């Protein structure tokens, strides 16, 4: 029944490691997003894909690389993790129209030690 | 002016009170606006959309003042379950590219 799911829910890792977060939506939406919410609770968009094509790419270090194998999945790979990458990462999806709601996944809590 | 600015609170109100949050935005071209609600350690969820001057849904009323570039959210007869952070959201260009305010924290006290 879960509309937007993410794995893992929690991720604790050492600096310098490479890790991936996966996202899947079963809503039939054609647009997916990655957001980062830092310790001050600011929620900022990182990337957006529409039908597997990158349409939004905010100023994000190139250690972050999104991949969309199909329109129901959007994964985020992070190379050479840094302390400042510790945050909650939310995946979201929406239908194509500009008026459509974005539905968020439960978040992945990343802690870099 | 910041893209989206909210009073961070916290607002602590007794059950049954009426509480209002304001949000100002800088992009005068924005056509649609949203209020999202985020419970502690949960994901944001859409509470209300505002496309014209306002929107009402039960105890919640959102109003838009384009001339002054602010949006407000009014909660009447507040319940304990209304305790959450309320995020003002303004599209930047398109509704796919949302700018979130930092949120206003509400605690409803018994």
Taking chain B (110 residues) in runs of 10, the rounded mean pLDDT of each run is 86 96 88 92 93 88 92 96 95 75 94
| β-bridge partners, B5 | B24
Interface of B with A (CB under 8 A): 32, 34, 42-46, 49, 51, 85, 87, 91, 94-98, 100, 102-103
Name every chain A residue with its beta carbon within 8 A of the beta carbon of B97. 45, 48, 56
Query: 3-state SS of chain A: helix, strand, coil percent to 5?
Result: 5, 55, 40
What is the per-residue pLDDT for A52?
A: 80
Whether residues A55 and B87 touch (CB distance < 8 A) is answered with: no
- Counting residues of chain B whose pLDDT is more than 70, the rounded percentage is 96
What are residue B70's DSSP bridge partners?
B24, B65
Of B32, B43, B102, the CB nearest to A104: B43
For A11-106, where are the alpha helices, taking DSSP H only? none
Summarize pLDDT for A90-104 with one digit per residue, the tens.
Answer: 999 998 655 568 899
User: Mean pLDDT score of chain B, rounded to an integer?
Assistant: 91
- pLDDT for position A99: 56
- For A20-48, letters b (16+ CB in 10 Å) and e give ebbbbbeeebbbbbbbbbeeeeebbbbbb
Residue A111: both structure tokens together: 């802690």
* pLDDT tens per residue, range A8-61: 999 999 999 999 999 999 999 989 999 999 988 889 999 888 888 888 778 789
Direct distance between the N- and C-terminal alpha carbons of chain A, in angstroms, rounded to an integer: 34
Q: Which residue of A has its CA nearest to B50?
A: A99
Neighbouring C-beta atoms of residue B110, cutoff 10 Å: 5
Q: What is the pLDDT of residue A54?
A: 84
User: Across the interface, do A101 and B97 touch by the CB < 8 Å criterion?
Assistant: no
Residues of B in contact with A41 (CB under 8 A): 85, 102-103
Token readout for A6 is 């993410």
Rounded to a whole number of angstroms, the distance from the CA of A5 to the nearest CA of chain B is 11
CA dihedral A68, A61, B102, B69 (to 10 degrees): -90
Residue A63 to residues A60, A77, B61, B100: CA-CA distances in angstroms? 8, 8, 42, 24
| CA B100 – CA A62 distance, rounded (Å) | 23
Measured in Å, how far apart are chain B's first and last C-alpha atoms?
37
Q: Which two tokens stand for residue A50?
A: 């529409």
Query: Would you tell me which residues 29-88 of chain A have a C-beta closer than 8 angstroms to some C-beta of chain B?
Result: 31, 33, 40-45, 48, 50, 55-56
β-strands A10-13, A31-37 pairing: unpaired
Determine, for residues A106 and B42 on separate chains, whether the beta-carbon distance falls below 8 Å.
Answer: yes
Instruction: Please give the pLDDT value at position A57.
Output: 79
Measured in degrees and rounded to the nearest 5, phi and psi for residue A9 equal -80, -35
* Distance between CA atoms of residues B26 and B5, nearest Å: 9
Give contacts of B45 with chain A, Cβ < 8 Å: 104
The three-class DSSP label of residue A62 is coil
B96 contacts in chain A (CB < 8 Å): 31, 33, 48, 50, 55-56, 94, 98
């Amino acid at each position: 029944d879960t509309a937007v799911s993410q794995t893992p829910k929690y991720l604790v890792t050492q600096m310098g490691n490479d890790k991936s977060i996966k996202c899947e939506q079963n809503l039939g939406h054609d647009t997916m997003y990655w957001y980062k919410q830092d310790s001050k609770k600011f929620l900022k968009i990182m990337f957006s894909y529409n039908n597997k094509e990158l349409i939004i790419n905010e100023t994000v270090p190139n250690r972050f690389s999104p991949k969309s194998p199909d329109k129901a999945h959007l994964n985020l790979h992070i190379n050479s993790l840094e302390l400042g990458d510790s945050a909650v990462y939310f995946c979201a999806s929406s239908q194509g129209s500009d008026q459509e709601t974005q539905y968020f996944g439960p978040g992945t809590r990343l802690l870099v030690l | 002016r910041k893209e989206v600015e909210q009073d961070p609170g916290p607002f602590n109100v007794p059950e049954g009170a009426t509480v209002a949050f304001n949000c100002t935005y800088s992009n005068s071209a924005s056509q649609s606006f949203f209020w999202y609600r985020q419970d502690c350690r949960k994901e944001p969820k859409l509470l209300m959309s505002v496309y014209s001057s306002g929107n009402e849904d039960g105890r919640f009323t959102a109003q838009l003042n384009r001339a002054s570039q602010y949006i407000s959210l009014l909660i009447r007869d507040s319940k304990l379950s209304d305790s959450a952070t309320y995020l003002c959201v303004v599209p930047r260009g398109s509704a796919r590219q949302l700018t979130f305010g930092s949120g206003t924290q509400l605690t409803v006290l018994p």
